[in-house]
Amino acid sequence: MSRSSFEESLMQFVEELKDESEMTEKQRRILQASLKLFAAKGFHASSTAEIAREAGVAEGTIFRHYKSKKDLLLAVVAPVLVKFAAPFILKDVRVIFQEQAKKPLAEVLTELYRNRLELIGANEKHVRILLQEAFFHEEIREAMLSTVYQEVKRLAAKLIEERKEAGELRPLPTEAVFRMVLSSLVGLILFKHVTEPEEYAKRSDEEQIALTVDMLLYGIANR
């Protein structure tokens, strides 16, 4: 059920995704208003009446383009999954494996963290909605895990094992190393966007990334 529900609802959705150029003005404004309201108040707390008002559109117009409110949520959210999945898989697969295979690990990690911070900064509201609604909608949660996460993990595992064999990484379990790399990134993102925006801002992104990569590679203990 949930597997096919995911493939039917999300994959179908991604296929049918119009790019912005072939939308009408009003349709674009509906998406924009939904983005704003969903991010601010959440999906269930945002009514279609409010969305229509915010978009300067009749309520009926929403349902002309999206057959239900949930459809509208998916339309807002799906492009981000594509945006996140595609750069991760398409761009970084090249960056990490081809260009950077000879580069030092610290540089690869720095580039990765920089790239992810930028991507999230540029899509803050979308990410917000994605995380919020992943709590409730299994389709979204599963889409995130099975599309983005699993692929990232697969790529990372390969890289980690290569570097382990090359003696650059300690002989630790691959998935533990992966967890640590991801944890550091998530922590960095949380500090920047949630818990301590001002404290974070005392250092530049570059400094924060450099610190994080350094601690990740060499630990916090003195030897």
Distances (CA, A) of 219 to 105, 136, 215: 15, 36, 5
Interface with DNA (CB under 7 A), residue total 21
**Alpha carbons 94 and 215: distance in angstroms, whole number:** 26
Q: What is the smallest separation between the CB atom of 26 and DNA, expressed in angstroms? A: 3
Tell whether residue 20 is a contact of DNA (CB under 7 A). Answer: no
Q: Using CB under 8 A, which of the segments 59-67, 81-89, 112-120, 196-204 binds a copy of itself?
A: 196-204
Task: Report how far residue 117's alpha carbon sits from residue 119's, in angstroms, rounded to the nearest whole number.
Answer: 6
- CA quadruple 145, 146, 150, 152: dihedral sign: negative
User: What separation in angstroms does the CA of 8 have from each of 16, 42, 72, 135, 199?
Assistant: 12, 24, 16, 20, 44
Nearer to DNA, 42 or 87 (CB): 42
Query: Could you say which of DNA, a copy of itself, none residue 64 binds, taking C-beta under 5 to 8 angstroms by partner kind?
Result: DNA
The CA-to-CA distance between both ends of the chain, in Å, stands at 53
Q: Is residue 139 within 8 Å of residue 9, measured between CB atoms?
A: yes
Question: Shortest distance, CB of residue 214 to DNA, whole angstroms?
Answer: 48
How far is the C-alpha of 32 from the C-alpha of 84, rounded, in Å? 19
Question: Of a copy of itself, DNA, none, which one sits near residue 151, judging by CB under 5 to 8 A according to partner kind?
Answer: none
139-158 residues in contact with a copy of itself (CB under 8 A) are 145, 149
Give the interface size with a copy of itself as a residue count (CB under 8 A): 49
Rule CB under 7 A: is residue 100 a binding residue for DNA? no
CA distance to 16, 28, 188, per residue, from 19 (Å): 9, 10, 32
How far is it, in rounded angstroms, from Cα 190 to Cα 103? 28
Contact mark string toward DNA, 26..55, x via CB under 7 A: xx------------------xxxxx-----
Q: Which residues contact a copy of itself by CB under 8 A?
A: 41-42, 44-45, 105, 128, 131-132, 135-136, 145, 149, 167-170, 172-173, 175-177, 179-184, 186-188, 190-191, 195-196, 199, 203, 208, 211-212, 214-223
Q: Which residues contact DNA by CB under 7 A?
A: 24-27, 46-50, 57-61, 63-65, 67-70
